[in-house]
Structures are given as structure tokens and as C-alpha cells.
Structure 1
């Protein structure tokens, strides 16, 4: 599993990158066999004006060609990263579960059923 982090206009950039990497490794570590690349985009949409403008978008490219995309906005970037990491964990788990069920059904079908 490879994690790529891009950030624009964020103070304490190094700490945010480390936080995002740590949270995603924790959230997706057990699914590393099914995850290819994780791309994280962090941005301060409104710049120094403040408000609910911290954006975290995560795109998970699965090894079986499917993709999971989660995006959140909030006031505190670390909290936004935490929420997105939790949602990514749930969605990747669900996606891998579906793929596993489909594979089991395909193997359980008799060859003449096609």
C-alpha cells in the first residue's frame, strides 16, 4: 500500500502529513493486501479567511480496479482527517467484503451452471 499526500496552503504541513499517514496506516493496514494506492489531498479552501474550509479528500485505488473516494470539510484539519480515515476504513472494508463474497459465489457455482 502506497500513500501519497498532497497539501496546499496549510500551516504545520509536516505534522498534518504525519498525522494523515499514521491515521491511514492504522485505518487501512489490515486491508493492505487489497489496497494499491492511497492519494490524500489536503487544502484550505478559503485561505486565511477561516470558517469551515479545511478539505480532506482521499482516493483509494483498490488492487481489483475499483476505487473508493471520500471527502470531508471542517474547521480543524486533524479532526477532518480523522473522520475521513474512519469513513475510508468502513468503505474499504465493505468493498473488500463484496469482492470476497462474489469470489466465493463464483467458486461455489458448478461449471455447468454458466
Structure 2
């Protein structure tokens, strides 16, 4: 699984990168064989003004469907990352369960239903 980390107005520290990699392994390890990549976009919305302005946006592409996209805004970037990845893991689990549940149904008309196949 490839991890892409994009930052906005600040530089990515080694400790932040390690934290992200650990959290992704912890929350998404159950699905790592089916995931090709995880994209994180980190941003400080207000800059030095402070407040609840640290944003983490997680995007996980899903084969044959729309990607899972979660955004979390908190005053602490580490908390925003943790919350966003936790929510993304739950959303991915639900999406894959629905895909498995509905993926085996095939809607084909039976030949005697008044529909002619040419």
C-alpha cells in the first residue's frame, strides 16, 4: 500500500510521518491487501492565528466505486489525523461490506418474461 502525504502551509516532520504511518497500519491493516494507496492532505487553515483549524483529509480509492473521503478539523493535528483515519476505516469497512452484499446479485431477465433478446 502506497501512502501519499500532502501538506499545505507547513513542512512534514519525521515524527508526524511516523505517526501517520503507524496509524494507517493500525486502522487499515485488515484491508491492506486490497488497498493500493491512501492519500492524506494536511493543512493549517488559519495559519498562526490558532484555533480549531488543523485539517486532515483522507482519501482511499476503492476499485469499482467512488473513493472513501473523510475530512476532520481539530485544534491538534495529531488528533485530526487519528479521528480522520478511524472514521475512514469504519467507512471503508461499511463500503466493502455493501459491495460484497450487493455484488453477487445479478439482474438478468428470464426468457419468458415478455422480453425478447435479439
TM-score range, shorter chain: 0.7 to 0.9
CA distance in structure 1 between the aligned counterparts of 2:24 and 2:110, rounded to whole angstroms: 44
SS at match of 1:35: coil
Rg larger in structure: 2
Could you tell me which residue of structure 2 aligns to residue 94 of structure 1?
94
How many matched pairs? Answer: 112
SS at match of 1:19: helix
Gaps of 5+ in 1: none
C-alpha displacement of 1:10? 3.5
C-alpha displacement of 1:66? 2.4
C-alpha displacement of 1:32? 2.0
Q: Which has the higher contact order (CA 8 A, sep 6+)?
A: 1
CA RMSD of aligned residues (A): 2.3
Q: What are the residue-to-residue correspondences of 1:72-111 with 2, within 5 Å?
A: 72-106=72-106
Could you tell me which residue of structure 1 aligns to residue 23 of structure 2?
23
CA distance in structure 2 between the aligned counterparts of 1:30 and 1:95, rounded to whole angstroms: 14
TM-score with structure 1 setting the length: 0.84
Answering whether residue 37 of structure 2 is matched by residue 37 of structure 1, we say: yes
C-alpha displacement of 1:11? 6.3
TM-score with structure 2 setting the length: 0.82
C-alpha displacement of 1:111? 8.4
Q: Which has the higher helix share?
A: 1
Are the equivalent residues in 2 in contact too, given 1:9–1:47 (CA < 8 A)? Answer: yes
CA distance in structure 1 between the aligned counterparts of 2:12 and 2:64, rounded to whole angstroms: 35
Could you tell me which residue of structure 2 aligns to residue 49 of structure 1?
49
